[in-house]
C-alpha cells in the first residue's frame, strides 16, 4: 500500500508523524501559495468576476421581486439591473485601486524592487 494512502493513527505518535510529513511537504513546496488579496494572485480575477456577477444578480433579483409585487414589469428590473451593474463596476474599481496602493507600498518597502 502506498504510504500516502495510509492514514496516520490518531494517537500521539501518529499525530507527530503527520506533523513531520506536513513539515516535509511544506519544505518541498517550491512555489508559495498566492492569496486573493495579493496583487497578481489568481484569486483576484475570480473576485473581480464575482463582484460584477453578484452586483448584477442582486439588482436584477430585487427588480424582479418588486415588479411582481407591485405589478410594474419591467421597470424595477431594468432600473435595479443598471444600479447593480454600476455597483459591480464601483466595487471592481475600489478593489483595483486598493491592490494598486498595496503594490506600490510593497515596492516602496522593498526599495523599488517589484513585489513578489
Domain boundaries, the chain: 42-109
| Cα distances (angstroms) measured from residue 24 to each of 3, 8, 61, 100 | 14, 15, 49, 35
From its phi and psi, is residue 114 left (phi > 0), alpha (psi between -120 and 50) or beta?
A: beta
CA dihedral defined by 114, 23, 25, 36, rounded to 10 degrees? -40
Neighbours of 101 (CB within 10 A): 11
Task: Give residues with Cβ within 8 angstroms of 56, minimum separation 6.
Answer: 81, 84, 85, 88
Flag residues of the chain having pLDDT under 50: 1, 34-37
Q: Using one digit for the tens of pLDDT, what is the confidence trace for 55-83?
A: 999 999 999 999 999 999 999 999 999 99
pLDDT for residue 12: 77
Tell me the pTM.
Answer: 0.57
Amino acid at each position: 500500500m502506498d504510504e500516502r494512502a495510509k492514514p496516520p493513527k490518531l494517537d500521539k505518535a501518529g499525530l507527530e508523524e503527520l506533523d513531520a510529513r506536513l513539515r516535509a511537504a511544506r519544505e518541498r513546496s517550491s512555489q508559495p501559495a498566492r492569496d486573493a488579496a495579493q496583487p497578481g494572485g489568481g484569486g483576484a480575477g475570480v473576485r473581480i468576476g464575482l463582484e460584477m456577477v453578484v452586483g448584477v444578480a442582486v439588482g436584477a433579483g430585487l427588480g424582479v421581486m418588486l415588479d411582481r409585487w407591485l405589478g410594474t414589469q419591467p421597470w424595477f428590473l431594468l432600473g435595479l439591473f443598471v444600479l447593480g451593474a454600476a455597483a459591480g463596476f464601483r466595487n471592481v474599481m475600489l478593489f483595483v485601486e486598493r491592490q494598486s496602493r498595496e503594490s506600490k507600498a510593497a515596492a516602496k518597502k522593498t526599495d523599488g524592487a517589484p513585489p513578489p
